[in-house]
Every structure is written in structure tokens, then in C-alpha cells.
Amino acid sequence: MHNVFASIQSNLRRQAEQIVLTIPFGAKLSGIDLDSQSAILAAVLLDLGIEPSDRVSVQIDKGWMNVLLYLAVLRCGAVYLPLNSAYTDTEIEYFLTDAEPKLHVCSRDRARHAKNLKHSLTGLEILTLDDKSGSLFDLFLAASSEGKTVEAIVPRGSDDLASIIYTSGTTGKPKGAMITHNNLISNAAMLSAAWAYSADDVLLHALPLFHVHGLFVALNLALIHGGSVVLLPKFDLDAVLSVLPDVTVMMGVPTYYTRLLADRRFDQEICGHMRLFISGSAPLLVETSDEFFDRTGQRILERYGMTETGMSCSNPLRGERRPGSVGPPLPGVEVRIVDEDGSELSRGAIGSLEVKGDHVFKGYWKLPEKTAAEFNDEWFITGDMATLSEDGYVSIVGRGKDLIISGGLNIYPKEIEDVLNDQTGVVESAVVGVPHSDFGEGIVAVLVGEGTLDMGALEIRCRKKLAGFKVPRRWVQLEALPRNTMGKVQKNLLRDEYADSFV
């Protein structure tokens, strides 16, 4: 049985009477609760005609029903497709058209536009789900009262899809990364071994559930190998500080740690019992790492991964957690640094980082040529520039692609530029990421216009087309964009010019 839910169920049954999921001031679910209630919701999905390999897209707020739905979809052998709750109607239309889900579950306030799409998307069912309401919640309650349940877990092969997660490219439309059951099972095993994760751990979960970090690195690891999860709807400083005394492990993005350090209540006493602080999804500044160590006596463990690979590297649990490095490869992962021709470089040289292992995704949904282009034989080309030290530590030194990581979320300039270039009066645009003390990187839009551009109006239009985290935070107008002799915009010069925008 390769269905990842089988691994999760084994742990839930071992912890049948233990509280496994806690929502502060809300639901408290034991292992048997999660097992039995996900079986009821799975019965609902089967009644709706969900079959193995069908896609179920989900755009709902984080909460206990979000966790149940994820488990129920896996249990049915279907493919879970999480969508950022901040995505606009325009963005959602693309994902639903491309992924062709049989069922789309969204909150009630997002249902109107999705239901309009139903007429143009063959076979799409739209249901709503909020914390304790919505059409899917009503079906769940009815199935529970009627005693409907599904004890069996739909068998899946190791190479069958468990999830599709969209990740934007530097050019073109977002791509669906196909994540298999074996990808999730193997990566959870790697992390459990590397971080000594056990049933004694209590995870503070403040990350989104539509992202690899929150869904697979944090939640999957805890449900398969760990003890219990304290699930916060989002990162709220007061809420995090209030639950810190009750947890042992926290996973977050660098922004979380800078915000904790900015509060005097965060000190060695409040986190003295903590076993592990983990950071990822964006580079952790050495200054932040050092300040955290000075304040708490603990060194944040930084690791490295991607949507397409899950986690590939991690600083050691026991041993040197090297600031500025993401550590050695995880057990079962191979890494190498290559030049432009794909030839392996010597230790210490800067080159393109490639990885190999069971954690690497199957490919991009309906894009076989793009998939082939991202692999060098069996090695996945990450697009990140890195070095590998003599003792095996990987350090990310830059990105070959124009990816911006702000607040732990991936943002690709091309998507924003396409929106800007479509606006009246805009001749061309270039979007870059520059250092930001809170978010890691902030977005700067550099524009060329036919006349003086109304930046406020452009920002309003952007907010209608793009999720809020993709909207530029600084707007600049120039007479022309800097270009090299081949006509390519020199974004490196723009990054240097506006590097102090958010300092």
C-alpha cells in the first residue's frame, strides 16, 4: 500500500486517544477523530463520483475542516490541488481550466465566480466549505448522521499522484508540479530521521496549508511521524507567543523570526523548553540567525527545498548549524554543483545546484517538454546557484531565475509584468526583488510610460488581477530600462539601484 494516507492512518491509530490536532479556542481532535471523520468525508467524496486520479481543487481558509478534506482526498486516491486563498478570480480561472478538477471546493464568499465558470468547464462540481458551514459541510453532517463511512483506503502505486501544486515560472503560465505518494512518504521519512521527529513532539503550525512548506513539510511530517499539531489560522504574533510554552517544534519562514525578535516578550524563558526552530522557504539572514541565538541560546535550523522536490538539504540536528548555509543533503538525497554545460564542478565553486532522490517530483502537469528541460539525465535542475563545501554543506548564493521570495511565498516577475504591460500608458516594465528586513524580499516595479504614470491607479488595477502578496511595494518610472548589447533588460542593475528601497 503506497497511499500516503495509510502511513498517516497508522500513526493516528497509534495515537487513537491522544489529541492530535488542536485549534486554539476551537476544535480538539484525537487520532481516532481524524481517522473516523476523514472516513466520513471520504464517503461524501465517493458519493459525488470522485475516483482515483481525479483532481480536487481546494481554495478555503485554514482550519480543521481543511485538514479533514486533505486526508479524505488522499483516502479516496484522488489528487489534492491546494490553491492560495488570496488568488483572484482571474488566477483561479486559469488553474481550474488547466487542472480540470472534477470537484472544486471553495469558501462561500469565493463561490460566485467559480460557479460562473462551471458552465464553461465540463464536469466541474462546485461545493463550499467554511469552518462549520457550506454545502460540503452539510453533506458531511448528513453522512455522519446516516452512519456513512469508508473504512478502505484506495490503493495507490508509488508513482501515482497525490497532489498537484502550481508553481509559477519566470516565463509563461504557472506550472503544476505533480507530487507522487512516494515523494511524500520518502521525504517525510528523510525529515523524521534528520530531525529526530517523534510522538513526543508538538508542532506549532502557523504556515499556510496551500504551500509545500505548510502542507507537506510540516503537516505531513507531524501526521506520519509526530505527536500533535497546534494549528493557528495564520501567523499572529500574540497567538504564537501564547502557545509557545505548549509546543516543542516550530516551522516558519524568516519573516516569522524577525517579527518574534522585534517583540520584547520573546526571550529565552518563553522558548527555553523548545526542541527545535526550523526556517525555510526563503534565505535566513545571518544577522537574524545570530540575533536569535543571542536572544534565546538556540540556533535556528535552516533547510532548503522547492515545490518540485520537497526538502533536499538541512542543517544538522546535532552538529554545526552553519549560518548562511542550508546544510548537507538529507539522507537519500544526492546533490551536485555543475557548470553551464552540466559538468560537475569542484568543491567550493559556484554553479547550478542539481538534486536527485525519491523526493523529486514526477514532472509538470501536461508539460512533458518543460519537464524534460528541467532534468539533466536523472538530476533535477533547481535553477539556484550554490556552492558545496569540502565537508558537504550547501550554500545558496543566488538564483539563476528571477524568482522573488517575499514572506516565504514564491513570486515570479513575469506574471506581474504581464499585468503591468497590459495597462494603458505602460510601455514596458521590469519587476525585481530587493532586500526587505521583514519579508526577506520586497517587490519593486520599474516602469516606462508614454507620459507620467498614475502609480496609485496601477496599484489598484494590480490588486484586481493579482494576489496581494504579488503587488509591488515600490513603484518607479524611468525613461528607459537598462539593457545589454543583446537587448536583454539588466535586472541586476535595477536590483543594485533600488537595493535600499526597504531598508
Per-residue buried b or exposed e for 275-304, using 16+ beta carbons within 10 Å of the residue's own CB = bbbbbbbbbbbeebbeebeeebebbbbbbb
- Express each pLDDT in 376-407 by its tens digit: 999 999 988 899 999 999 998 866 667 788 99
CATH code, residues 4-8+33-156: 3.40.50.980
Model confidence at 486, pLDDT cuts 50, 70, 90, reads: very low
For residue range 216-273, what is the model confidence (pLDDT) as tens digits? 999 999 999 878 999 999 999 999 999 999 999 999 998 899 999 999 999 999 998 9
Task: Say what the pLDDT of residue 123 is.
Answer: 81
Give kind and range of the element (H or E) at residue 384: strand 379-388
Q: Which residue has the higher pLDDT, 306 or 415?
A: 306
CB 97 within 8 A of CB 87: no
Burial status of residue 502 (CB atoms within 10 A of its CB: 0-12, 13-18, 19 or more)? middle
| Residue 185: band (very low, low, confident or very high) from pLDDT cuts 50, 70, 90 | very high
Tens of pLDDT along 75-100?
A: 999 999 999 988 888 889 899 999 99
pLDDT over 90 (residue 39): yes
Structure confidence at residue 1 (pLDDT): 67
Q: Average of pLDDT values for 176-193?
A: 97
Average pLDDT, stretch 175-186? Answer: 97
Instruction: Place 9 in a pLDDT band, splitting at 50, 70 and 90.
Output: very high
Distance CA 187, CA 479 (A): 49
- Which part of the chain is CATH 3.30.300.30? 404-497
pLDDT value at 118 more than 80: no
Per-residue model confidence as pLDDT tens digits over 11-23: 999 999 999 999 9
CB 94 within 8 A of CB 173: yes
**What does the DSSP 8-state code read for residue 366?**
T
pLDDT tens for 397-435 read: 866 667 788 998 878 788 898 899 889 999 889 999 999
CATH 3.40.50.980 region(s) of the chain? 4-8+33-156
Residue 281: per-residue pLDDT: 84
Residue 212, C-alpha cell as written in the block: 509545500
Residue 28 is predicted with a pLDDT of 95
**Which sign does the torsion angle of CA 93, 71, 233, 143 carry?**
positive
Angstrom distance (rounded) from CA 227 to CA 221:
10
Comparing 281-285, 301-305, 319-323, 486-490, the range with the smallest average pLDDT is 486-490
**What was the pLDDT predicted at 410?**
79
Q: Superfamily assignment of 404-497 in CATH?
A: ANL, C-terminal domain (3.30.300.30)
Those residues whose C-beta lies under 8 Å from the C-beta of residue 457, and which sit 6 or more positions away, are: none
How far apart, in whole angstroms, are the C-alpha atoms of residue 180 and residue 186? 10
Q: What is the mean pLDDT of residues 28-38?
A: 97
Residue 487 has pLDDT above 70, yes or no: no
> Is residue 170 scored above 50 in pLDDT?
no
Q: For residue 423, count CB atoms less than 10 angstroms from its CB and return exposed for 0-12, middle for 13-18, buried for 19 or more.
A: middle
H or E element, residue 195: helix 181-195
Instruction: Report strand pairing: 175-180 vs 202-205.
Output: unpaired
Three-state DSSP class for residue 378: coil
Q: Is the pLDDT of residue 114 over 80?
A: no
Q: What is the average pLDDT across 476-497?
A: 84
How large is the average pLDDT for residues 296-323? 96
**CA neighbor of 386 nearest in space, from 356, 412, 411, 349:** 349
